[in-house]
Amino acid sequence: MADQVDYQILGDDAQAVVITLDPGEAVRAEPGAFMWMEDGIEMQTSTGGGLMKGLKRKLAGESFFMTTFENKGHDLRKVSFAGDFPGKIIPLDLSKGDMLCQRDAYLCSADGIDVTLAFTKRFGAGFLGGEGFFLQRLSGDGLAFVHAGGYIVEQELGRGESIRVDTGCLVAFEPSVDYNIKMVKGVKSMMFGGEGLFYAHMTGPGRVWIQTTPFSRFAGKVLSASGGGRGEVRRGIGGMLGDLIGGE
């Protein structure tokens, strides 16, 4: 089995990844990510390493089971995967180190890559971050692919350099980046700004990936436009109070 995989990312606003497998080579994917595969590839669903690994993935926001796609033929064969909403696919080389990702970001990877839960460095960061208490940790020696909404911005932070990111827009970051949650300053900003009460404070060194369109924001707009909700669901009480005072 090769640690790296040959791949091609197709599309622009709704991307798919096509992976070429050597004979005997395999990839793993989140159930529901599969698009198509050529003859000679066989798929098998399992916990990917036992009950505890399945439970850890479940806590990290992924499925209890994983699907393995193995090339059983004698020639190169292709298999393709895509996310379940419009967005970009990011290849991450884990041979250079682990990655921390938001829940549900994992799409597929080289066989042998582990997807487990990761506690944030501070209890409050995970508890107040709005994206779930756990982050995903991707580890192993090979490529992994994560899916995120809209356009992806990659920020390279120098030592001591900081940025503040909407918690929903944070996709992935290297473990060397210090991650914490800060409260938005000012009562008016918190209640009527339409954003939320907290943001992620990221301090380098290391890389950070940011998405322009979190699924929660996209779903909120669709719900609002369909008449099924008022405003973005992610804004919470502050955003709704702002609408009321504004006369909307």
Q: Spell out the domain ranges in the chain.
A: 6-213
pTM for this prediction: 0.77
Homologous superfamily (CATH) for 6-213 = Mitochondrial biogenesis AIM24 (3.60.160.10)
Please list the helix, strand and coil fractions of the chain in percent, rounded to the nearest 5, in that order. Answer: 20, 40, 40
Report pLDDT for 131: 46
Cα 115 to Cα 245: distance, rounded to the nearest angstrom: 45
Residue 238 predicted with pLDDT over 50? no
pLDDT bin (cut points 50, 70, 90) of residue 136 is confident
The confidence band for 189, taking pLDDT boundaries of 50, 70 and 90, is very low
The percentage of residues in the chain with a pLDDT greater than 70, rounded to a whole number, is: 69
> Is the model's pLDDT at 47 over the cut of 70?
no
Q: With pLDDT > 90 as the criterion, what percentage of the chain qualifies?
A: 46
Region for 27 from its dihedrals, namely left if φ exceeds 0, alpha if ψ lies in -120 to 50, beta otherwise: beta
